Structure 1
Amino acid sequence: MALNLQDIPRVKKLDKKTFIEHYFKPQKPVVIEQQIEDWPAYKKWNLEYMKAVAGHITVPLYDDRPVDYKDGFNEPHAKMKMSDYIDLLKREPTRYRIFLWNALKEIPELQKDFTFPDFGIRLMKDIPMLFFGGQDSYTFMHYDIDLANIFHFHFEGTKQIILFDQKQNDYLYKVPHSLITREDIDFTNPDFEKWPLLAKAEGYKTELNHGEVLYMPEGYWHYMRYITPGFSMSLRAIARNPINFSRAVYNLLIMRNFDNAMRRLQGQQWIDWKNNQAIIRTHKRNGISV
């Protein structure tokens, strides 16, 4: 038995009108295969180039260890010189990833390698973020704190993507006061005896290759696994749906601070309670006795 996933639609290129009508308004994901072939980044951006321009910078690294109460919100698990990190990526599989790194702020010359695409929605131009990962490294299933519309540009190698929209929340074992599902769910090979409600979830899947762009609508859950070492850049636009925008404000101003306060007050007991509630609440919403 496998997750109920359909392939994300693919197109060669998209103009503004088609994107708005067929993907943005209905909030459906799409992979655009040849949109950025005129960017200098399309030819230049690979791991060796990033090592050449950013090798001297110390970067924050994350892995797939379970959330610990001592960790702050998005606190890195390690740090390393970029040159050493890229050598590690190319030498052997590693769980270490770079997450939400505003490299373009530290390395302004990278901004000459791309242009902001005009898809009819205003992109936030001050926070292009880069993400790096080694073979078999992955992110937990999560959605972004600001529920933004995201364009995810992939460079070098192949990345596996699984998406769910917010309508699937009742089936995903969402951890309360957070943006993640239970971390012990393997979304590539889920245990349906342990997580029976996952069988009801309807989602999407694809693999991204060099130069391809994934549009992820507002608040979409996403799981990403690096099949080979590589990296991606995300550009984002604020949530347009008033409900999503209000949830983003709540997450940023209240939820994040409340969760950090409870970690300080209750420690690991708070993390354990949240993980247990993910099961209890999901089963109760679906009429399963707990």
Structure 2
Amino acid sequence: MGKEMMKLQPIPRVEKISKDDFVRNFVQPQKPVVIEKLIENWPAFKKWDLDYISKIAGEKTVPLYDDRPISSEFKFNEPHAEMKMADYINLLKSGPTNYRIFLYHLMKEVPELQKDFKFPDIGLRFIKQLPMLFFGGENSQVFMHYDIDYANILHCHFHGKKQCILFPPAESKHLYKVPHALISREDINFNDPDFDKFPALKNASGYITELSHGEALYMPEGYWHHMTYLSPGFSMSLRATPRTLTNFSKAVYNLVIMRNFDNYMRKLKGQKWIDYKNEQAIKRTHKKSNIIQ
């Protein structure tokens, strides 16, 4: 019911695309697109699945995150648990789990994986030190957020299917953004939102798609994204620098000031700071949307 009521249009899809067309039609206007066969020539396209990762990186200890709400107990991006990669992949295969691997630099830990892909020549200035891997079990979700560095992201999916919901930065005013943070309220279920509790969501216009093995999603800088693993799988994000000085300045602010200020306030005020921010997310959003409750 909820998903049909949200204003979500399908993300455009192309099989292949030239650099000029990609830059002109998607990068310059900052519009998302799924490129279905961009990486079919990578060795990873044929090799990468959960069994291969378990074989090549099974002994690596990996940080795990679940869907518990952010609290003063944990610092920014602090993991909730650790496990051997082989044990984690067995967990993924055994059934639904909330545990995810988030922003893990497996390329650095397992350099052999770097032979399996290349940075595509499509007009983005990729940060070649930062290919990141993300893993999730069936039905696990990544809460609605945007990235701290305002990167342009090429999100390549492997093994199974993943649902992606995106919103442009201009829609932030409708998304119950938590102040001094990069997230919306974590109690919003974007797959079935409660419009009585969060009425401003009705005004948000976004995009939706399902990624299958080998497909690449371009997410422009500052885009909000919410991911649901429809089956166990993993993705790799290739990151490119912001195109504008404005967004580069926002990235520097987030990394240098906002993150440190938030960690300081969590240490100083504890859970009261988290609760205050969640209250302000509702108050500020409803004020901008002229919603009286």
Equivalent residue for 1:148? Answer: 151
The residue number in structure 1 matching 2:270 is 267
In 2, Cα distance between the equivalents of 1:241 and 1:202? 23
Q: Which residue pairs with 2:45 in the alignment?
A: 42
Q: Determine the structure 2 residue equivalent to 1:108.
A: 111
Distance 2:93 2:124 in 1: 37
Amino acid at match of 1:28: K
Match of 2:36 in 1: 33
Residue 154 of structure 1: SS of its match in structure 2? strand
* 1:164-186 residue CA offsets vs partner (Å, 9 max, x unmatched): 01100110000000000000000
Asked if 1:80 is matched to 2:83, the reply is yes
CA distance in 1, matches of 2:23, 2:271: 45
Residue 227 of structure 1 aligns with which residue? 230
For residue 244 of structure 1, what is the amino acid of its counterpart? Answer: N
1:288 is displaced (CA, Å) by 2.4
Q: Which residue of 1 aligns with 2:216?
A: 213
Does residue 159 of the first structure (1) align with residue 162 of the second (2)? yes
Displacement after TM superposition at 1:289 (Å): 3.1
Q: How does 1:43-192 map to 2 (within 5 A)?
A: 43-192=46-195
Asked whether the 8 Å contact 2:132–2:236 carries over to 1, the reply is yes
CA distance in 2 between partners of 1:46 and 1:289 (Å): 49
SS of match in other structure, 1:250: helix
Q: Which consecutive aligned stretches of 4+ in structure 1 deviate over 4 angstroms post-superposition?
A: none
Amino acid aligned to 1:142 = H
Amino acid aligned to 2:292: S
Deviation (angstroms), 1:260: 0.0
CA distance in 2: counterparts of 1:201 and 1:210, whole angstroms: 29
TM-score (norm 1): 0.99
Contact 2:62 2:85 in 1 (8 A): yes
TM-score (norm 2): 0.98
User: Where does residue 255 of structure 2 map in the other structure?
Assistant: 252
Cα-to-partner distance string for 1:185-205 (whole Å, 9 max, x where unaligned): 000000111110000000000
| CA-to-aligned-CA distance 1:242-264 (integer Å, 9 cap, x gap) | 22111111000000000000000
The C-alpha deviation readout for 1:124-167, integer Å capped at 9, x for no partner, is: 00110000000000111000000110000000000000000110
Matched, 1:3 2:6: yes
Give yes or no for contact 2:16–2:37 (8 Å, CA) kept in 1.
Answer: yes
* d(CA) in 2 for partners of 1:121, 1:93: 36
Name stretches of at least 5 consecutive residues in structure 1 with no aligned partner: none
Structure 2 CA distance, aligned partners of 1:153 and 1:123?
14
CA deviation vs aligned residue, 1:4-50 (integer Å, no higher than 9, x gap):
00000000011110110000000000000011111100000000000
User: Which structure 2 residue ranges, 5 or more long, are not aligned?
Assistant: none
Residue aligned with 1:5, SS: strand
Q: Which amino acid is the alignment partner of residue 277 of structure 2?
A: K
State the 1:56 CA deviation.
Answer: 0.3
Residue 19 of structure 1 is aligned with which of 19, 22, 32? 22
Identity %: 63
Whole-angstrom CA distance in 1 between matches of 2:128 and 2:173:
34
Q: Contact 2:40 / 2:214 at 8 angstroms: preserved in 1?
A: yes
Secondary structure of the 2:70 match is coil
Aligned length: 290
Which whole-Å CA distance do the structure 2 matches of 1:195 and 1:77 have between them?
A: 28
The alignment partner of 1:111 has SS state of helix
Q: What's the Cα RMSD here?
A: 0.7
